Amino acid sequence: MDVAAAPRPRTAKRWHPLVITISILRLGGIGINTRFWVSIGLLGAIVVFGLLGPTLLGKRDPLRIVGGLYDPPSSQVWLGTDNFGRDVFTQLMYGTRTSLTIGLIAGAVATLIGVAVGTLAGFRGGTIEEALMGITNVVITIPSIVILILLSIAIASRSIVVMGVIIGITSWPWTARAVRAQTASLRAREHLDLARLSGAGTVSLILVDIIPYMLSYIFMAFVLQFASGILQEAALSLLGLGPTNTISLGIMLHWSLLWEAVRTGAWWAFFPPTVFLTIIAFALLLLQSSLDELFNPRLRRK
């Protein structure tokens, strides 16, 4: 492979560092709500790009070979080509879509299991709570990346859905813990006593009298699981254990690392997915910190 022949970038558009610094500083001065909305805005923009991009720009096959090894950006291929000569911009759109889908499935699975375990433990208390939370704590201590690696090598052909599900079933314990705490504080409320007196069963009590009261909380937990699912997928794909026969942000990085895009200066191959993952992660942490302050006012500064 003649990697040295790959042209080096000369025309990259550079942001002045000062502009970036100032805009970041401005972010810090703004209140919870603005921080919250900025993070929602960033995530929203990425979602729109991944979902609407392929529809608006016409369907293309992200795995189709359109050029040579690391062709630089041009009017035909807006972000150049990758090591197989595939269009990076198309890959970015479809890769974003794949990553989002996996994040969505992982978030849904994790939230579903977490809410089920958390509400049951928090609502029933006693032995059931101890057993469920014991299991939760055991699962938390076993590092999820290990289970993910082992599961991924066990499943030879990994579809997008399978990836989402296995990420989801390794990340539910955090949601379960948070939901249990919320449920336990709801348990003492009067309306629950009334409902209990009327003879309602556990499941209907949880569905009717507990979950509606913490829907916003559950939604927040879901958003966090969604974003961290995307990052988990990226890490797995980077290790070479991503979904098969498709493209995702992590897989793009995996190939560009294997085919030395960084060292040969083919920035268009690795920079876009890196930036996308960074934005997703930053939005996640921004969201988390604004929610933290929302739920725990003592962390707030006057």
The 3-state secondary structure of 101-148 reads HHHHHHHHHHHHHHHHHHHHHHHHCHHHHHHHHHHHHHHHHCCHHHHH
Do 242 and 158 contact (CB within 8 A), yes or no? yes
Judged by CB under 8 A, the chain residues 203 through 222 that form the site for other proteins are none
Rounded to the nearest whole angstrom, what is the least distance from the CB of residue 299 to other proteins in the complex?
5
DSSP conformation letters of 225-243: HHHHHHHHHHHHHHTT-S-
Judged by CB under 8 A, the chain residues 22 through 51 that form the site for other proteins are 24-25, 27-29, 31
Q: Which is nearer to other proteins, 90 or 136 (CB)?
A: 136
CA atoms within 13 A on the CB side of 176: 26
Q: Which of 65, 145, 207, 208 binds other proteins (CB under 8 A)?
A: 145
Nearest to 114, CA basis, from 196, 170, 51: 170
Q: Should residue 286 be labelled a site residue for other proteins when binding is judged by CB under 8 A?
A: yes
Q: Should residue 253 be labelled a site residue for other proteins when binding is judged by CB under 8 A?
A: yes
Rounded to the nearest whole angstrom, what is the least distance from the CB of residue 24 to other proteins in the complex?
5
Rounded to the nearest whole angstrom, what is the least distance from the CB of residue 201 to other proteins in the complex?
31
Q: Which of 231, 247, 252, 291 binds other proteins (CB under 8 A)?
A: 231
Q: Which is nearer to other proteins, 35 or 97 (CB)?
A: 35
Q: Which is nearer to other proteins, 156 or 215 (CB)?
A: 156
Do 282 and 20 contact (CB within 8 A), yes or no? no
Region near other proteins per CB under 8 A, out of 44-52, 84-92, 117-125, 138-146: 138-146
Q: Which is nearer to other proteins, 145 or 207 (CB)?
A: 145
For residue 163, with 0-12 CB atoms within 10 Å meaning exposed, 13-18 middle and 19 or more buried, which class applies? Answer: buried
Q: How far apart are CA 36 and CA 188, in angstroms?
A: 31
Residue 223 makes CB contacts below 8 A (sequence gap 6+) with 43, 107, 287
CA atoms within 13 A on the CB side of 43: 23
Angle formed at CA 157 by CA 151 and CA 161, multiple of 5 degrees: 75
Structural tokens at position 174: 């955090």
How many residues contact other proteins, by CB under 8 A?
A: 52
Q: Should residue 198 be labelled a site residue for other proteins when binding is judged by CB under 8 A?
A: no
Contact characters 53-92, other proteins, x per CB under 8 A:
----------------------------------------
Q: How far apart are CA 234 and CA 242, in angstroms?
A: 8
Q: Which is nearer to other proteins, 244 or 274 (CB)?
A: 274
Would you tell me which residues interact with other proteins (CB under 8 A)?
A: 24-25, 27-29, 31, 134, 137-138, 141-143, 145-147, 149-151, 153-156, 231, 234-235, 238-241, 253, 257, 262-263, 265, 267, 270-271, 274, 277-278, 281-282, 284-286, 289, 292, 298-302
